[in-house]
Amino acid sequence: MFRYTGILFRLGRYLEAVQVEPVVIEKSGRVTCVLLSKHRYDQLCELEGMFWDLKA
């Protein structure tokens, strides 16, 4: 988990980290977002599409 403060200064580090696993960003002690690789995002979008196809 990474803190929000200084994220722009460490962007390269986060971009490398998301290639291995999602990166959770915390601000004021609370999780505010999760960064995903493009590959993982595409996988999730495909799964979502399959889910809605099954619901139809």
Q: What is the mean pLDDT of residues 37-42?
A: 96
In the predicted structure, residue 19 carries a pLDDT above the cut 80: yes
**What are the residue boundaries of the structural domains of the chain, listed by start?**
2-55
Question: What phi, psi does 23 have (nearest 5°)?
Answer: -110, 125
Output the CA torsion sign for 36, 39, 40, 43: positive
Give Cα 2 distance to the centre of its chain: 12
1 pLDDT band, cuts 50/70/90, is: low
- In CATH terms, 2-55 corresponds, of 3.90.230.10, 3.40.50.1820, 3.30.430.20, 3.40.1620.10, to 3.40.1620.10
Structure-model confidence comparison of residues 5 and 34, the more confident one:
34
Measure the CA–CA gap between 32 and 17, rounded to whole angstroms: 17
DSSP character string of 14-51 = HHHHTTTS-EEEEETTEEEEEE--HHHHHHHHHHHHHH
The predicted structure's pLDDT at residue 49 = 95
In the predicted structure, residue 7 carries a pLDDT above the cut 90: no
